[in-house]
């Protein structure tokens, strides 16, 4: 029996299961692996393989490792397969999975590695090819990041659906190459990860988004002008009429740079976000923006590369506009970044709950350790 845990891609592996004639698959819709494996006391004695799709999981790095470690301790003969196609090669999670001797890791759904994981399995040599950092350094980085801030869960609050179908977000840049597309993708990734059905819409004409297929193993449906990667649906060359019956909770419009689209387009969106810089040569556009918006202060600014000791001064200079500061995040599908900004920008649509770090209760551990061995790895 295979237990497949995913939040949004429960049918992702159906074609592989059919090809390999695998019939016994239990699909579990969950978005917090640690709660499911440790907190719920779920019984996996019937399973010889656990497959976890990380794309929708809300666990911190420590929580993921606790979940995998607990499962391996309780069920040492079960195979563990991790689908991490949305993770960059140097993500600290890889080093920590290797430390648990979990080598069945899929980073490319199109290269056949999932079949290898399901059959003969990945070797340590196969897995080490994914690494771009030393395991020790990656582990320390992730450990310090997880312990530096209080643990919390951020989940979608869909109360707005009682009154309206969706929320629209406009993202544009003050100038070329300032990061509008990058931040629009990060926002789409964040909203998708907390539980919203979200899509990115490339609303300018350059169609840069299609170049992702040259770098990442995206799922492409060119007839629908759709790319899918890292849990994000991305559309290019679209018509709005195509979305008349769509059921997305959030639409993220990448408008490009200010000045190349009708400015009123920005003002028609529920959340209006302008990506800008703080260097001397990046400030020339701000007076023009302030003049255009006039008394409309319902526009927010997301600033790149702002030195911490200058941020108070930047806020004062930008008053009464709301200003947020972006973290340095090279990878456009990263999880868990810019949370301080996103929690404020999307405050009306999020439920945030502080968590105590959980451990397996002694009585539960004793009860679960009684299960016998099953299946080959």
Report the CATH number that the domain containing residue 165 is assigned in CATH.
Answer: 3.40.50.300
Q: Is residue 362 classed as helix, strand or coil in its secondary structure?
A: helix
Instruction: Give residue 207's region: left, alpha or beta (phi > 0; psi -120 to 50).
Output: left
Same domain, 166 and 77: no
pLDDT in tens, 12-67: 998 888 888 888 889 999 988 988 887 655 677 888 899 999 988 988 888 898 88
Ramachandran angles phi, psi of 340, nearest 5°: -60, -40
Decide: 60 and 147 in contact? Cβ < 8 Å.
Answer: no
Decide: 181 and 285 in contact? Cβ < 8 Å.
Answer: no
Residue 307 lies in a domain: yes
Query: Which residues make Cβ contacts (< 8 Å) with residue 329, sequence separation at least 6?
Result: 186, 337, 338
Strand partners, 172: 256, 274
Q: For position 374, what pLDDT does the model report?
A: 40
Torsion sign (Cα): 352, 337, 192, 114: negative
Q: For position 364, what pLDDT does the model report?
A: 45
Residue 215 lies in a domain: yes
Question: Residue 133: which pLDDT band, with cuts at 50, 70 and 90?
Answer: very low
308: pLDDT strictly greater than 50: yes
Residue 375 lies in a domain: no
Domain with residue 65: its CATH number is: 3.40.50.2300
Q: Which region among 80-94, 152-166, 321-335 has the lowest average model confidence (pLDDT)?
A: 80-94
Question: Residue 358: which pLDDT band, with cuts at 50, 70 and 90?
Answer: low
* Block residue for tokens 């090669």: 89
Same domain, 73 and 23: yes
Residue 377 lies in a domain: no
Same domain, 119 and 177: no
Residue 373 lies in a domain: no
Q: Is residue 52 classed as helix, strand or coil in its secondary structure?
A: strand
Same domain, 111 and 85: yes
Decide: 272 and 218 in contact? Cβ < 8 Å.
Answer: no
Ramachandran angles phi, psi of 195, nearest 5°: 120, 5
Number of domains in the chain: 2
Same domain, 162 and 298: yes
Decide: 266 and 253 in contact? Cβ < 8 Å.
Answer: no
Nearest to 318 by CA among 281, 264, 278, 348: 278
Same domain, 142 and 193: no
Tokens linked to 204: 């300018």
pLDDT in tens, 168-197: 999 999 999 999 999 999 999 999 989 999
Decide: 2 and 48 in contact? Cβ < 8 Å.
Answer: yes
Same domain, 218 and 299: yes
Q: What pTM was computed for the model?
A: 0.59
pLDDT in tens, 241-265: 888 788 899 999 999 999 888 888 8
141: pLDDT strictly greater than 60: no
* Block residue for tokens 């190459």: 177
Residue 9 lies in a domain: yes
Same domain, 19 and 71: yes
Same domain, 127 and 160: no
pLDDT, average across residues 326-349: 92
Rounded to the nearest 10 degrees, what angle do helices 61-74 and 135-148 cross at? 110
Residue 376 lies in a domain: no
Helices marked H in the chain — which ranges? Answer: 14-19, 33-34, 61-74, 92-99, 113-118, 124-128, 135-148, 180-193, 263-267, 286-293, 311-318, 339-345, 362-368
CA angle, 244 then 250 then 252, to 5°: 95
Longest dimension (CA), the chain: 72
Show the domain range for 245.
153-354
Same domain, 139 and 157: no
Q: For position 233, what pLDDT does the model report?
A: 93
Same domain, 196 and 138: no
Share of the chain above pLDDT 90, in %: 40
Instruction: Give residue 112's region: left, alpha or beta (phi > 0; psi -120 to 50).
Output: left
Decide: 225 and 277 in contact? Cβ < 8 Å.
Answer: no
Nearest to 206 by CA among 229, 227, 237, 239: 237
Same domain, 195 and 317: yes
Residue 162 lies in a domain: yes
């Amino acid at each position: 029996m295979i237990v497949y845990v995913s939040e949004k891609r429960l049918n992702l592996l159906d074609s592989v299961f059919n090809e390999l004639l695998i019939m016994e698959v239990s699909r579990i819709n969950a978005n917090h692996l640690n709660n499911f494996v440790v907190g719920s006391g779920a019984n996996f004695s019937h399973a010889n393989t656990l497959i976890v799709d990380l794309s929708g999981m809300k666990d911190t790095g420590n929580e993921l490792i606790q979940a995998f470690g607990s499962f391996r301790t309780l069920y040492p003969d079960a195979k563990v397969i991790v689908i991490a196609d949305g993770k960059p090669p140097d993500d600290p999670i890889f080093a920590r999975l290797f430390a648990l001797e979990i080598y069945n890791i899929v980073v490319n759904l199109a290269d056949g590695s999932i079949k290898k994981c399901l059959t003969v399995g990945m070797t340590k040599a196969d897995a080490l090819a994914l690494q771009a950092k030393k395991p020790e350094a990656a582990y320390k980085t992730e450990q310090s990041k997880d312990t530096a801030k209080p643990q919390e869960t951020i989940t979608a609050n869909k109360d707005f659906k009682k009154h309206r179908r969706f929320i629209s977000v406009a993202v544009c840049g003050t100038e070329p190459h300032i990061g509008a597309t990058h931040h629009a993708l990060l926002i789409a990734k964040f909203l998708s990860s907390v539980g919203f059905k979200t899509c990115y819409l490339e609303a300018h004409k350059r169609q840069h988004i299609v170049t992702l297929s040259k770098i990442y193993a995206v799922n492409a449906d060119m007839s629908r002008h759709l790319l899918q990667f890292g849990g994000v649906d991305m559309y290019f060359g679209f018509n709005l009429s195509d979305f008349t019956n769509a059921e997305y909770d959030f639409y993220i419009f990448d408008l490009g740079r200010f000045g190349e689209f009708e400015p009123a387009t920005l003002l028609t969106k529920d959340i209006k976000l302008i990506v800008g810089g703080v260097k001397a040569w990046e400030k020339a556009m701000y007076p023009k923006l302030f003049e255009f918006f006039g008394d409309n202060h319902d526009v927010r600014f997301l600033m790149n590369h702002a030195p911490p000791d200058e941020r108070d001064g930047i806020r004062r200079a930008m008053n009464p506009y709301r200003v947020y500061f972006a973290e340095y995040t090279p990878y456009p599908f990263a999880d868990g970044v810019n949370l301080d900004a996103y929690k404020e920008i999307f405050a009306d649509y999020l439920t945030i709950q502080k968590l105590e770090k959980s451990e397996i209760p002694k009585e539960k551990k004793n009860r679960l350790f009684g299960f016998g061995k099953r299946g080959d790895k």
